[in-house]
């Protein structure tokens, strides 16, 4: 029995499938649904602070764009869950997605994590392994990996 489910989203098709599965599980168990979106600043590591566009720091611009996307993804996820009568709590984080997911799951005492099999970034997967692999490897919490 699950009472507190965490689903990780990044706007990809796989994460949308993970959301559908998490909502189904939350309905089945009458569980609370936590939704996380992580803005991964590691994607910007090659940009130096002096990279600018029209006087603005490029990192700041990219962060704002990703943050805006994250807020929209979370808004849609919350709507999807609340339409089914679920309690939905959203979390927008910054950092390494795998670390943030595992950390939030432990902090919120989640008893199930749902993640997509792969996200939007193939480069991250080549360099450091996929987020889903990281979560499965490092979390002590039951994890469902939803394939596309």
Of all residues in the chain, the percent with pLDDT exceeding 90 is 69
* Rounded Cα distance, 148 and 71, in Å: 23
**Which residues, in sequence order, are CB contacts of 44 under 8 Å at separation 6+?**
58, 59, 62, 63
Query: Sorting pLDDT into bands at 50, 70 and 90, what band is 59?
Result: confident
Q: Tell me the pTM.
A: 0.87
**Going by CATH, does the domain composed of 4-146 fall within 3.40.50.2300?**
no
Closest CA to 35 of 50, 62, 15: 15
Q: Where are the domains of the chain?
A: 4-146
């Amino acid at each position: 029995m699950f009472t507190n489910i965490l689903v990780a989203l990044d706007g990809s098709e796989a994460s949308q499938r993970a959301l559908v599965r998490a909502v189904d599980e939350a309905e089945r168990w009458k569980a609370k649904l936590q939704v996380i979106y992580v803005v991964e600043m590691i994607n910007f590591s090659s940009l130096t602070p002096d990279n600018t566009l029209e006087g603005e720091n490029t990192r700041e611009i990219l962060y704002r764009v990703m943050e805006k996307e994250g807020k929209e993804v979370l808004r849609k996820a919350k709507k999807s869950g609340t339409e089914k009568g679920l309690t939905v709590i959203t979390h927008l984080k910054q950092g390494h997605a795998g670390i943030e997911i595992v950390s939030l799951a432990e902090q919120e005492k989640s008893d199930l994590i749902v993640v997509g099999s792969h996200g939007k970034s193939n480069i991250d997967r080549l360099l450091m392994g996929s987020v889903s692999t990281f979560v499965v490897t490092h979390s002590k919490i039951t994890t469902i990996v939803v394939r596309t």
